[in-house]
Every structure is written in structure tokens, then in C-alpha cells.
Amino acid sequence: MTNRPKPIRILLVDDLSSTRRALSNFLNMEADVEIVGTASAVRSALARIQQLSPDVVVTKFDLPDSVLTLLQSLNQQACRVPVVVFDAGLEAGSPRNIDARLAGATSCVARPAEHNALAGVVQGVLSPAIRKAINNSTTSRQWPDTAFAKPEKTLEEATRIVPAGRIPGGELTASNVPSARQSPPASVVAIAASTGGPDALAEVLTGLPFDFSVPIVIVQHMSSGFTVTLAERLATQTGRRVAEGCDSAKLHEAQIWIAPGGRHMLVERRGRDFGLRLSDDEPESSCRPSADVLFRSVAKVFGSSVLGVVLTGMGHDGLEGSRCIRDCGGQVIIQDQATSVVWAMPRAVAEAKLQDAILPVTEIAREIHRRCRRSET
């Protein structure tokens, strides 16, 4: 007799009973799904989570008390249950998407305006997002022992250590084997991110020590207008000076600069100082802003004292820029496959063997600090 796999236990949170019924009906069509409970507001949702210990919470954004309140409460209680937000206006890069992801949502799925399209989106987009959220919950974050349920594997158990640059069987494994190359401490950090980047950036930037003072420049692939919102949200969450890049800004005027959507951002020397320059040149690697453009500029100005970081994302932006950083004697670290939403940008760097370390997103902040700390003294 074959043992059937345990069903995915879902708690649905929505203030409209009609929506709860519709989602329950569509999700229950999946053979491996069980709706274990429903809630209509944050307070009842928190009580049901503690009572039922669901595998995942599916909630709308516009709850009466706000989904952000729910996410913040779960963070305060150290609850690691994955939360998938399903509502209108959650397209990638939208302010609502960024708000939810920075507050701790595991995934955001845009709900269609047409009711007759709901079944297809639930089956084709929401269900895969639920499964991915559960799979990532055991590797993407480290949770305290007070969590309602413990992950099946720890991060160390799930990730076998191998020398940097090796990708056995095409699978990424974490590595932090010191490079044979000798590079000076980094005096600037350049970060590339795309799909899944906002929450990866939040994880990395909040993990840095409070007194970390090395300037950070970031390319996050986003449309024009959304990078302002991202900078504001990261500033609020991290307590650091985060700003959207602008022409003629001095590097030290903010600790963290984010390239504006639709424009390249470069770092250049101005006498004894360093500043930013924006460009409307053609896209590179099909991107504008492009991490390759930013990485090349910091390598030209800072040489071997550059630390490049390539996080989750589609495409290969950052590959040629990483090559420039390494050619100048600088260092490059990349996010591992297990904690990446899309492992394409980091993989391109790994396959070219340009990285000094491959790390889970939860360990990248510590590694940035380690590779910069002598320059802060």
C-alpha cells in the first residue's frame, strides 16, 4: 500500500465570505491541498495560526486591519509560517508588492479583475506560488526555536559545502571557501538584483551592523517610479540613509544609493571625492539600469577595493560587470540557488567561476561586513 503524501494545510484570510468560498473551492480541486480554516481579520487570523499551525497562509492585501499588520505581528511572534498575498495591484515592482515583501510576505500574486479568470490564475499562478513558498520556508530564513513548526531540514543540512565555482550536476551548493586571491578590504559595495530582489535586499541590508559605514550602490531591476518607493521602504525598515540615485550626488551623502528605474547609474571620481552620474545610454544585458554598467564604473574608480554582490534575478546582468571587478582585483559574492527566487544572474557568475563565495541570503550581510570591516577602522 502506497503512503499518500500529507496535504498542504492552508489557512485562508479574507474579509469577504464569497471570496473565501471561491478560493476554497478552487484550491480544494488540487489533490494535495486541504483548507484547514478561514479568518476574516488580522486578530482572528493570528488566533487561527496559533491554533491550527497551517503550512501556509493565503491572505488578501486589503484586510480591515491591513495585511502589513498581520505580517508585522507574525515577525514579532517569531512565527515562520509562509504568507502568500493574493490581491489586486500586486504586480511585480508595484508599491503594494514592495510593501508586502518588505513586511515579510513570502510571495505576492496579482489577482485578476475578471472573476471568470480566477480559476485559471489560482491553478496556474497561485498554487505554484504556495508550493514554492513552502519549499523556500525551510531554507530562505533561519527561525528561532519558538516558531510554531520546525523546518524539516536546517540550512546546513539542506546545503552541502563544496569549493567555490563547482556546481555538481547543475545544482548550486553554498560555498565560502576563502579565495586564493588576496584583495584589500572593500571600500564600496555594489549590488545587483532583479526578480525576488526587494526582499533579498531587505534581508541583506537589515543584517548589516548598525555602524556599517561603507557606501553601497544598488541596481534593482524596476520600472521608473517604483525605485523611489523601494528606497523609502528600505530606509524605514533598515534605519539607514537610502536614496534613489541622482546626478551630481556625492557618494557619502547617503549610505545606500539605488539606481532609478529606467536609467543607468555610474560612480565616478571628482577630484578627491566620488559622485554619481545617471545615463540614458542604451540598455545593456537588456536592462536599464544595468548592473554591468554600475559594476564597471566602480571597478574603474575603486579597483581592487570593490565588493560586488549578485543576488536573485533573471537573465545575466552583472556577469560582465563581475568580470571587470575580478579583473581589477576586487571580490564578488553571489546568492545561492536554494534561497534565490530565480537563480539566473548568480548562476551566470558561478558558471564563469568569477565568485569568491556562494552564500545563502541569510549569510550575505555577515560576509559583506567581514570583507569590508578593515576599511571601516
Cell 474579509 sits on residue = 15
Cis peptide preceding 289, ω within 30 of 0: yes
- Told to judge if 224 belongs to the known catalytic residues of this protein, a careful annotator would answer no
- Told to judge if 221 belongs to the known catalytic residues of this protein, a careful annotator would answer yes
Question: What is the full DSSP assignment across 322-349?
Answer: HHHHHHTT-EEEEE-STT-SSBSHHHHH
CB 111 within 8 A of CB 121: yes
- Told to judge if 264 belongs to the known catalytic residues of this protein, a careful annotator would answer no
* Distance between CA atoms of residues 326 and 292, nearest Å: 13
Of residues 366, 370, 373, 312, the one with CA closest to residue 204? 366
Which of the residues 14, 55, 292, 317 is marked catalytic?
Answer: 317
Could you tell me if residue 155 is left (phi over 0), alpha (psi between -120 and 50 degrees) or otherwise beta? Answer: alpha
Query: Residue 15, SS3?
Result: coil
CA 165 to chain centre: 22
Which of the residues 55, 94, 140, 221 is marked catalytic?
Answer: 221
Of residues 190, 230, 1, the one with CA closest to residue 93? 230
CA 357 to chain centre: 18
Which of the residues 94, 127, 137, 194 is marked catalytic?
Answer: 194
- Catalytic positions are 194, 221, 317
